[in-house]
């Protein structure tokens, strides 16, 4: 429920759904983690893709590609 815009932990507590034993900082941290979990997963997926592409580029024999300009081969 906390993933919905405009809904906060205080709203859950009003309806008896919140955890009253948590400190305010813990509630805020949990709410932030829940609200942004989708963004964080998407960002981690992008990071993983970039790392795989970078590894492929490092494993590639750039000198063996004859259609590249000599200048481009030398830059690697």
Between residues 17 and 68, which one has the greater pLDDT? 17
Tell me if 3 is assigned to some domain: no
By residue range, what is the domain housing residue 48? 9-75
- Mean pLDDT over all residues of the chain? 84
Tell me if 1 is assigned to some domain: no
Tell me if 31 is assigned to some domain: yes
Tell me if 2 is assigned to some domain: no
pLDDT digits (tens, 9 = 90+) for 8-38: 888 888 888 888 888 999 999 999 999 999 9
Structural domain count of the chain: 1
CB 68 within 8 A of CB 62: yes
Tell me if 4 is assigned to some domain: no
What integer pLDDT is reported at residue 26 of this predicted model? 93
Tell me if 16 is assigned to some domain: yes
The DSSP-derived string for 25-71 is: HHHHHHHHHHHHHHHHHHHHHHHHHHHHHHHHHHHS-GGG-TTS-HH
């Amino acid at each position: 429920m906390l993933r919905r815009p405009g809904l906060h932990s205080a709203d859950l507590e009003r309806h008896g759904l919140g955890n009253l034993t948590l400190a305010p900082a813990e509630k805020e941290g949990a709410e932030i983690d829940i609200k942004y979990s989708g963004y964080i997963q998407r960002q981690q997926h992008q990071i993983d893709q970039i790392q795989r592409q970078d590894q492929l580029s490092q494993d590639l024999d750039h000198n063996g590609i004859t259609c590249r300009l000599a200048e481009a081969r030398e830059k690697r």
